[in-house]
């Protein structure tokens, strides 16, 4: 199990290769790579800036990953989340789950992404092509996705 919060880009293929090298206990590998979209709310986006408090962010991502490990019996996992200023098309998040069987790997990847979208402590600012900026509010749909995992849609 591994969590990294970093400014630098990542190489998905290299990360997966390193994670599965020499493993014979893995029957399924699921990867999800999230990219910065080129629009938000119908407006052209020039960049997305993510800020965080390192200790708090890493602790919460480690907690989420440990919960996925326990819940789905993973053989391994990796979560990489970037911060700083990112441009449309840049990779922003990587989730890799390893399991003896594909079903658990798929479910764990979805679980991790639902929690990352709604509970990871990042603050996001969108910068638009017209020169305006806006901080991103939590979306109801992100919190609602947690309900299928038994979590409340909102956190107090």
Note the pLDDT tens digit of each residue in 102-145.
Answer: 999 999 999 999 999 888 999 999 999 999 999 998 776 766 77
Distance CA 82, CA 93 (A): 6
Residue 68 scores a pLDDT above 70: yes
In this model, does residue 156 exceed pLDDT 50?
no
State the pTM of this model: 0.91
Inter-residue contact 16 to 80 (CB < 8 Å): no
Q: What is the DSSP letter of 119?
A: H
- Across 7-151, the runs of DSSP E, i.e. the strands, are 28-35, 39-40, 43-51, 76-82, 84-86, 91-99, 123-128, 133-135
Q: Measuring CA to CA, how many Å separate 86 from each of 49, 64, 92, 112, 152? A: 6, 24, 8, 22, 30
Q: Which domains does the chain have, with CATH numbers?
A: 2-146 (3.90.1170.40)
| Whole-number percent of the chain with pLDDT over 70 | 93
Query: What count of residues does the chain have?
Result: 156
Residue 19 has pLDDT above 50, yes or no: yes
- Please report the pLDDT score of residue 149 as a whole number: 86
């Amino acid at each position: 199990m591994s969590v990294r919060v970093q400014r630098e880009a990542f190489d998905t293929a290299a990360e997966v290769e390193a994670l599965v090298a020499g493993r014979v206990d893995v029957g399924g590998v699921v990867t999800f790579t999230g990219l910065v979209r080129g629009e938000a709310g119908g407006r052209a986006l020039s960049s997305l800036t993510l800020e965080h408090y390192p200790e708090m962010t890493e602790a919460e991502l480690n907690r989420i990953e440990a919960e996925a490990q326990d819940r789905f019996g993973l053989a391994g996992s990796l979560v990489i989340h970037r911060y700083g200023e990112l441009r449309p098309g840049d990779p922003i998040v990587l989730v890799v789950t390893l399991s003896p069987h594909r079903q658990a790997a798929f479910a764990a990847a979805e679980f991790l992404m639902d929690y990352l979208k709604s509970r990871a402590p990042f603050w996001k600012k969108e910068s638009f092509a017209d020169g305006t900026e806006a901080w991103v509010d939590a979306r109801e749909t992100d919190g609602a996705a947690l309900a299928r995992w038994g979590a409340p849609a909102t956190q107090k």
